[in-house]
Every structure is written in structure tokens, then in C-alpha cells.
């Protein structure tokens, strides 16, 4: 589904965090958002997901106003939000249970537990897992949700570099299969280049869009990524506020 954020502003306790933010993601598009720490990226995702209200502006899905929590989004916030009283299988299958499709959710979960390094932990509780394992469980839970738009807030932040790469590849694969719209917040320039059709770079607080960079390729693989020196440099310069020579 097509997502559009129009002139969204938001302030907390008199401090402006987002100022007339405009961005969109076309149906099936993968958009990454990069920006300085604290500039308002999570706030923007919270507004998209309908968890907090913008002061002005609006969020549209296929042209229809979305100003509350809706089934259009599967949202993975920075904190993993696993239920401590549910085991990992039940946590991962949460949306399947909500949508009355538990059997299919369990099948999908079991199919992926090995790849996610969670095999054998189905009956464990979140406090028995490492931070990285909890993050993978939360990511799997979000990805298995059938919503049209995935909102991912630093989903791989707690993972080592190899596991992170594996999760990125898995995300690219399911994206191909399901053709869903994805908005990813990340601090990792390479992750943004590797996964995205378009990278949006935000300014510092109050955040607004500084630049959008379209990433065009038919060969998204790690070898290709290593060669992306110019794009990497361009994004880094924008983030640092270095003017092109
Ligand atoms: N509920 C809230 N009440 C008051 N201030 C808030 C609230 N939520 C966020 N803020 C403030 O808004 C600003 C933006 O926070 P936000 O978490 O959106 O930034 P971010 O870009 O996602 O940060 P990071 O990259 O460090 O995760 C910060 O200064 C934060 O302290």
C-alpha cells in the first residue's frame, strides 16, 4: 500500500521535533530513513503507526487518512516489546493469534526458527534469551504479521555483523515474496544502501528531509554493496553537513 506523510509537525513540551515533514513510500517500495541521533525518526514512525498524534499534517494510506492504530502496519519499535510471560513461540505467533491464523503462524515460525538462531528456544521465555536473540524474535514476529506496511525501527541494532547480514538477506527475500512496503529506520549507511530503493536523509532536530537518494540496481549482493563508495560518501557528507566541493 502507498504511504504518504504530509506536512507533519510534532513537538514535545514546547520543543519542535518534526517540522513540516513530507515523505512517501510507494506500494512495495523499501525506504530507509537515516538521520542524526535524537532528530525524531522514532517519533515519525510512531506517528505513522498512529501511536502518537501529529500537531499538524497527516498520514495517508492509499489516499485515506490514517490517524489511529490500524491493521495496515506491522511495527517493530526499538524496544523489543516481547511479552515476558509468554514463551518465544507464543510471542512470535502473536499476530497469527490475533488474526485467527495461529496454525499458519506456527508453521511459518517453525520454518524460520533455525535461520533466526532460535531453534530449541521455542519454549523459553524472553528473559532467558540474549538481547540479540530477543531482537530476532521481535523481528520475526513483525515480519510474520500480514500487514501491508512494515515499520522497522533499528531492527538489527543489537546483532553482530554476520547475523545482521543474514537478517538483511532474509528481509530482502521475504520482501521479494510478499511485495510489502517497508520503512526502515537505521543508523547504518551500508544497511540503508543494501536494502533500500530510496534512502531519505533527515536533518538534525527539528527534523526535515535533507535529501532523498534513489538506489538503482538489479544486483543487490554484498559484492555490489562493497563497491558503492560514491553513494556511501554522499550520504555520509549529507549527514555530517559537509557541502559538496
Ligand atoms: N514522549 C516524549 N516526550 C517528550 N519528548 C520526547 C518523547 N518522545 C521523544 N521525545 C524527544 O524527541 C526527540 C526525538 O526522539 P526520537 O526518539 O524520535 O529520535 P530518534 O531520531 O529516533 O533518536 P535515535 O536515533 O537516538 O533513536 C528527542 O529529543 C526525545 O527526547
Q: How far is the CA of 208 from the centre of ligand 1 (A)?
A: 14
**Predicted pLDDT of residue 8:** 95
**Predicted pLDDT of residue 178:** 73
**Predicted pLDDT of residue 96:** 79
Above 90 in pLDDT, residue 191?
A: yes
**Predicted pLDDT of residue 85:** 95
- Please give the average per-residue pLDDT across 200-223, as a whole number: 91
Q: Whose CA is nearest to atom 7 of ligand 1?
A: 12
The interaxial angle of helices 131-144 and 161-178, nearest 10 deg, is: 0
User: Is 1-72+149-245 in CATH node 3.30.70.2200?
Assistant: no
Helix (H/G/I), strand (E/B), else coil: 135:
helix
Pocket lining: 34 vs ligand 1, CB cutoff 6 Å: no
**Predicted pLDDT of residue 170:** 87
User: 3 φ, ψ to 5°?
Assistant: -115, 135
**Predicted pLDDT of residue 243:** 65
Average pLDDT, the chain: 90
Above 70 in pLDDT, residue 28?
A: yes
Give dist(CA 116, CA 136) in Å, integer. Answer: 6
For the whole model, what pTM was predicted? 0.92
Helix (H/G/I), strand (E/B), else coil: 223:
helix
Alpha-helical runs (H) found in 59-101? 88-92, 94-98
Pocket lining: 203 vs ligand 1, CB cutoff 6 Å: no
Above 90 in pLDDT, residue 159?
A: no
pLDDT band at 67 (very low <50, low <70, confident <90, very high): confident
Pocket lining: 141 vs ligand 1, CB cutoff 6 Å: no
Percent of the chain with pLDDT over 70: 99
- Please give the average per-residue pLDDT across 100-123, as a whole number: 89
**Predicted pLDDT of residue 244:** 60
Above 90 in pLDDT, residue 93?
A: yes
Alpha-helical runs (H) found in 38-77? 41-48
- Please give the average per-residue pLDDT across 49-60, as a whole number: 93
- Please give the average per-residue pLDDT across 6-27, as a whole number: 94
Above 90 in pLDDT, residue 92?
A: yes
Q: Whose CA is nearest to atom 4 of ligand 1?
A: 12
- Strands 181-185 and 30-34, sheet pairing: parallel
Cell readout for 91 is 510471542
Asked if the bond preceding 140 is cis, omega within 30° of 0, the reply is: no
Which ipTM value was assigned to this complex?
Answer: 0.96
**Predicted pLDDT of residue 1:** 82
Q: Measured from the CA of 154, which atom of ligand 1 is nearest?
A: 27
Q: Measured from the CA of 44, which atom of ligand 1 is nearest?
A: 18
Q: Measured from the CA of 78, which atom of ligand 1 is nearest?
A: 27
**Predicted pLDDT of residue 81:** 85
**Predicted pLDDT of residue 226:** 92
Of residues 173 and 127, the one with the higher pLDDT is 127
Amino acid at each position: 500500500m502507498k504511504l504518504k506523510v504530509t506536512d507533519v509537525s510534532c513537538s514535545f513540551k514546547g520543543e519542535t521535533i518534526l517540522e513540516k515533514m513530507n515523505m512517501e513510500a510507494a506500494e512495495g517500495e523499501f525506504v530507509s530513513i537515516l538521520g542524526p541521533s535524537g532528530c525524531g525518526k522514532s517519533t515519525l514512525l510512531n506517528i505513522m503507526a498512529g501511536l502518537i498524534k501529529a500537531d499538524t499534517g497527516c498520514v495517508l494510506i492509499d489516499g485515506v487518512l490514517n490517524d489511529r492504530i490500524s491493521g495496515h502496519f506491522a511495527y517493530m519499535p526499538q524496544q523489543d516489546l516481547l511479552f515476558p510471560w509468554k514463551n518465544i513461540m507464543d510471542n512470535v505467533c502473536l499476530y497469527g493469534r490475533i488474526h485467527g491464523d495461529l496454525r499458519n503462524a506456527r508453521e511459518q515460525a517453525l520454518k524460520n526458527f533455525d535461520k533466526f538462531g532460535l531453534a530449541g528456544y521455542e519454549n523459553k521465555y524472553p528473559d532467558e534469551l540474549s538481547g540479540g536473540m530477543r531482537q530476532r524474535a521481535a523481528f520475526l514476529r513483525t515480519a510474520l504479521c500480514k500487514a501491508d506496511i512494515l515499520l522497522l525501527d533499528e531492527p538489527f541494532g543489537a546483532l553482530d555483523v554476520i547475523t545482521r547480514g543474514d537478517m538483511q538477506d532474509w528481509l530482502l527475500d521475504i520482501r521479494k515474496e510478499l511485495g510489502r512496503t517497508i520503512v526502515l529506520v537505521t543508523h547504518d549507511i551500508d544497511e540503508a544502501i543494501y536494502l533500500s530503493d530510496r534512502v531519505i536523509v533527515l536533518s538534525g532536530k527539528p527534523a526535515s528531509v535533507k535529501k532523498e537518494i534513489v538506489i538503482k540496481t538489479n544486483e543487490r549482493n554484498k559484492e555490489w554493496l562493497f563497491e558503492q563508495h560514491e553513494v556511501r560518501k554522499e550520504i555520509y557528507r549529507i549527514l555530517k553537513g559537509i557541502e559538496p566541493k
